[in-house]
Chain A
Amino acid sequence: MRIIKFNKKIYRPEAIKQAINDFKNLANFKLKENSDYIEIKINKIDQDYKDILKDEFANYALGLMS
């Protein structure tokens, strides 16, 4: 399992949710939100993308912010 914590002051929750929706075929995502961070737990990652999915997901979310 991989965990990413996105700072809510930097990453918009809508962008994260959009990214999850776009990546949903490659892994299972669980979203947990507190006042400062959005925590994403990534499970059952597609074997082909196991090494890069977490980083690609973060890049994609950042891309949605621009």
Chain B
Amino acid sequence: MNKINNNFKFEFDKKIQQIEFKINSKIYPLTTIYQATYLFLDKVYVFLDGQPEKEIKAFFKLKEHVNKEQLENLVGQFYNELLNQVLREKISQANDKIREYIVSQALYSAVPSEVDELLKEVEDDWQKDPLGIAQPWQEKKQAAKKSKKSSKKVKSKK
């Protein structure tokens, strides 16, 4: 096995083009390992084994041939991504309650309440104006005068 082991803990088997990582699952929980490896599925074939309580072994089989520099980049990117996912999870846990509150508020406001329905009914009735309250008094008076005049004319003709 051809070992490259500088700053990062990994072993590289040149023959089968496979990198082996040993990841401390007390530092990087299994969920963060899932998320980090998921982002590499397009570049490598991933296989996980080991003991989730202590140490996870991640095997990355390269899909394409890479040189030493590319290999080290890949390993570095993976460790960066692990750290990124750990941070995401910590932030997610810290904001858990406020996120739940925001979502519940959004869902609550999306459901029409009884008060909203009553208000809508009142608004519709107001627009109909069955008692003619919205009509100005001058118009009402003029209309009444006209109707009186017309009734007088009818009477005189008779």
Contact = CB atoms under 8 A, between A and B. Distances in A.
Interface of A: 4, 7, 9-11, 55-56, 58-59, 62-63, 65-66
A47 to B, nearest CB: 20
B49 A62 contact: no
B126 to A, nearest CB: 55
A50 to B, nearest CB: 15
Contacts of B50: 7, 10
Contacts of A58: 45-47
Contact of A62 (B41, B51, B61): B41
Contacts of B47: 4, 55, 58, 62
A7 B56 CA distance: 11
Nearest to B39: A66
B8 interface: no
> Size class of B's contact patch?
10 to 19
A7 B35 contact: no
B56 A10 contact: yes
Would you list the 5 A-B pairs with minimal beta carbon distance, nearest first?
A: A55-B45, A66-B38, A10-B48, A9-B52, A66-B34
B83 to A, nearest CB: 18
Interface string B1-41: 00000000000000000000000000000100011011001
